[in-house]
Amino acid sequence: MWHPIKHFKTITKHRHRVIYHCFKVGIPWQGLKHDLSKYSLTEFLPGAKYFVGVRSPNELEREDKGYSTAWLHHKGRNRHHFEYWQDAVPGQQKPLCPVEMPVKYVAEMFCDRVAASKIYKGKSYHNGCAYEYFAAKKDILPMHPNTKALLESWLVTLRDKGEKVAFAEVKQYVKANKKKKKK
């Protein structure tokens, strides 16, 4: 079950789709930096070992070992994952709490989820795939409520109105957020 070439092609194809999507929503630099850690040995070797092509190798590594070394490395280095945004928040009873993500990283997460759905679903992809994946777990995700609501709104727009409208909405929101920060 060792597939370094197939894994390399899959992560590169995914990354290129995310880059394309990030350009569409006005965050090109994030697109160019997206998922570079997947090429590190810490992430690449388990990815090649557990590669199956229709789902994340991290899930298979987790099933085999009880945890994923690749995922632990990845989520700590990539701000477009909500798991990166966990912190010890003063006054909270839980040891770690979700922190609201900056808009530009929510936008990258949206692009990432759409691209991943396209790669893993292949010909069976439709505009509702990313939302369906999100909806199946949204009630248990340790994601800040504002972050979750924003991501969900964009995924619903994609599902109901298509890519052109959804990407335009994300781009407009990112642009408005940049202007708001400059004031």
The parts of the chain modelled with pLDDT lower than 70 are 182-183
**Residue 75 CB partners (closer than 8 Å, separation 6+):** 81, 83, 84
Nearest to 6 by CA among 41, 36, 47, 34: 47
pTM: 0.93
Nearest to 150 by CA among 128, 172, 173: 173
Beta strand 86-87 pairing with 97-98:
antiparallel
pLDDT 10s digits, 127-166: 999 999 999 999 999 999 999 999 999 999 999 999 999 9
Give alpha helix (H) positions in 102-162. 103-121, 129-135, 145-161
pLDDT attached to residue 8: 97
pLDDT attached to residue 94: 75
